[in-house]
Structure 1
Amino acid sequence: MADELELLRRADPVPADGPHFGDGPLDHRAERHLDRLLRDRPAAPHRRIRLAWGLAASAVVAALVSGLLFTGQTTAPAVAAPRPLVVRTDSTPVSLKEMAQRARAAAADGAPALRKGTHVQSWSLGMSDDKPPITLPEERIVRWHADDSHTELVVATDPRHPGRPVLREADGEPRLVEDGHVLSRQTYPPSWSDAPPESPPPHDPAGLRAYLQQARYSDDPMDTAGLLDAVTELLDHWTLGARESAALAQLLAGTEGLRPVGQVTDRLGRRGQAYVYDASVTRRMLILDPATGTVLGLETTFTTDQPEYGVKAGDVMEYSAWMR
């Protein structure tokens, strides 16, 4: 386990002791480490483990979680929900229109290029109506190969607490595992689907909107919340190139209710411009790279107390941080 986690961290373009303000592509050494990590073991025979819990988490699961939290465990910091990102009070908000202009300028030479696959760290809050909520952190890397097969690696890891135990779910039962525990490793056979989000996204705003609408498998008009959901689905399949990021920034610039609030530092230490959308009980914060308009992350927090689930206004419901 430790060797695999070390390989994963060496493949990360933002190392733990680095300045954290860059998000560049993997170099040749990191790519070799990543290839070794993905190829050393055969595909796992069991099904893919899903970490996200819904609001209807069972009482049995909640009781097990309660036992983990209150039976003398002293090394379980990863079960606590991450604190919401804080906007710098001395920062100046950048409009989405301005961000779209920056993105178009950054895409002038077409680099970097679109790449199928993703590298994302995420946190999901699991809730029950009578037990404390818990957070399940994971890191997922999907790499596609020349024959259109792809490999997916999911690791239990929390960058807030490197080296400490991480909570994972197995067959509906939460338990603590060591940092870097491999949750699943799957190699999938070739797939040639031409339907979104498997097909390449276009790099013009109108075409991208139609693509995202189709990826939702719904004929209902796509509102701001639906658009953000579709963006999440897109980024869980593709690492956008400069032109696709520019098209997305232009699409976001014409979205109602998404307002600029200023600068934040995301959970991977990267500086970004934040844009907030307020719904009935949640607030969604989209973080964009200030120079290129690339989506860095998306955070959802509660805006009102939900006592039946043990959460308060300001608690983080879920968060994703995407990397190249």
Structure 2
Amino acid sequence: MFDTSSTKALLGPADPARGLPIPPPHARAVDLIAVAEATVNIDAPSGVRRRRILVPVAAGVAAAGLIATGVVASGLTDGNPSGGTAGQATGPTPTRTAAATPTLGPVIRPVAFEIDKQPPATGDQLRALAAQLAPSRCDTTTGKYTFIHTIGWNAVFDDTPDGKSQRIIPSERWEWRAADGSERIRTTFLPAVYPNEESYQYFQKHPVQPTGTPAADVNDLPPNPNRTIAPLPTDPAEIAKRLAGGDPFLKVRDWFTTRAVPLATRAELLRILANTAGVVWRGETTDRAGRKGLAVSLDDERARHVLIFDPRTGEMLAWDDVERPVDTVAGSKMLLACEHTDKLG
């Protein structure tokens, strides 16, 4: 395949753009996902992120512009002298570590449940959990930024012509969000993992060549009224109003994934799930970071959606979207830390 340099060399004097600088290479799809996730409206109606569906076109175009132009936010003030500048892979400085970094793969399987067959409706269990929640770090810390640390993926990539062998590219993200919409996102792409043993064996025999993507990427986004984050409501009527018009199960998932959810709001969200048709109780489980949690699930015609909650604080530890009947974990995210801070890393 010709790249820009080889094409210009081939054209030689006939090149109409001779003498002009070569622009930077286009961003890859996996790179666009990391930035695009942070730019979407997190209160928009949700749906399962399906296999081979990566990001909406509009979000991808916006993300490509951010990467290609190297946008740096003037509104972000680094409170950490060692934080570095945008584009430097200096390594994140998280304000806490809530869980050990998980060892993924090489083959990703759905998490195991205490109740795998004929699970009961979850009303009583979630209401009991909501009644005895303890404060979490997001309740006891203060600061300009909401800090969220996650590891996960939201697509399975088809990398062979027949579509029989796929790879999953997990990313680790550290996000600092301010109320004015300014944001710092650090992203590291992790080694590929695989949805089944056949895919793993295929790529052992046909390794994918490195593409030159840096080990870490930093994006600073300037203040933007379209990205401002109002505090989540704690009043039950207002919470119900905000969740109206979509699937409450997936909206609850998205709130926990992108927000610091206050204790009173967490309790009400658990009670809403307790009254949501189709949500079943899966009992105890262990997430991929080795944390004990309580799981619930909701099935639709294409996927099983799983939420895992901290049994002490009611915070969401992780979510999975498991495609059926192949049991491919097409989307997953672990929340490793969430708190407020005045420091950027």
Query: TM-score scaled by structure 2?
Result: 0.54
Q: Residue 82 of structure 1 aligns with which residue?
A: 108
Choose which of 226, 233, 237 in structure 2 pairs with 1:202. 233
Deviation at 1:40, TM superposition (A): 1.0
* CA pair 107-232 structure 1, distance change in 2 beyond 3 A: same
Contact 1:85–1:266 (Cα < 8 Å) also in 2: yes
Q: Residue 215 of structure 2 aligns with which residue?
A: 181
Q: Distance in 2 between matches of 1:272 and 1:160?
A: 24
Report sequence identity in percent: 21
Q: Residue 175 of structure 2 aligns with which residue?
A: 142
SS in 2 for 1:136: coil
Q: Distance in 2 between matches of 1:107 and 1:78?
A: 30
Paired residue type of 1:191:
N
1:319 aligns with 2:332: yes
Q: Residue 126 of structure 2 aligns with which residue?
A: 99
Q: Distance in 2 between matches of 1:104 and 1:180?
A: 46
Q: Residue 162 of structure 2 aligns with which residue?
A: 130
Paired residue type of 1:189:
P
Q: Residue 250 of structure 1 aligns with which residue?
A: 271
Q: Residue 292 of structure 1 aligns with which residue?
A: 313
Deviation at 1:137, TM superposition (A): 0.3
Contact 2:121–2:280 (Cα < 8 Å) also in 1: no
SS in 1 for 2:132: helix
Deviation at 1:267, TM superposition (A): 0.7
Deviation at 1:273, TM superposition (A): 1.0
Deviation at 1:43, TM superposition (A): 5.0
Q: Distance in 1 between matches of 2:262 and 2:192?
A: 26
Unaligned regions of 5+ residues in structure 1, if any? 1-33, 45-76, 162-173, 214-220, 305-312
Task: Provide the aligned length of Structure 1 versus Structure 2.
Answer: 225
1:118 aligns with 2:152: no
Contact 2:249–2:273 (Cα < 8 Å) also in 1: no
Q: Residue 40 of structure 1 aligns with which residue?
A: 84
Contact 1:121–1:320 (Cα < 8 Å) also in 2: yes
Deviation at 1:78, TM superposition (A): 7.0
Deviation at 1:269, TM superposition (A): 0.8
Deviation at 1:192, TM superposition (A): 4.5
Which digits, 9 at most, give the CA deviation of each residue in 1:143-202, with x for residues without a partner? 1358763211111136989xxxxxxxxxxxx754799911x311111234587xx22211
Deviation at 1:291, TM superposition (A): 2.2
1:267 aligns with 2:288: yes
Contact 2:126–2:273 (Cα < 8 Å) also in 1: no
Deviation at 1:80, TM superposition (A): 4.9
> Map of 1:39-58 to 2, 5 A cutoff?
39-43=83-87
Q: Residue 153 of structure 1 aligns with which residue?
A: 186
1:283 aligns with 2:297: no
Paired residue type of 1:41:
T
* CA pair 180-42 structure 1, distance change in 2 beyond 3 A: closer
Deviation at 1:268, TM superposition (A): 0.8
Paired residue type of 2:274:
A
* CA pair 180-93 structure 1, distance change in 2 beyond 3 A: farther
Q: Whose relative contact order is higher, 1 or 2, with alpha carbons under 8 Å and at least 6 apart?
A: 2
SS in 2 for 1:299: strand
Paired residue type of 2:146:
K
Paired residue type of 1:86:
A
The two structures, once aligned, show a CA RMSD in angstroms of 3.9
For the pair shown, the structure with the greater C-alpha radius of gyration is 2
Q: Distance in 1 between matches of 2:130 and 2:193?
A: 30
* CA pair 108-264 structure 1, distance change in 2 beyond 3 A: closer
Q: Residue 243 of structure 2 aligns with which residue?
A: 212
Which digits, 9 at most, give the CA deviation of each residue in 1:247-280, with x for residues without a partner? 2112111111010022110011111111111111
Higher percent of residues as strand: 1
SS in 2 for 1:105: coil
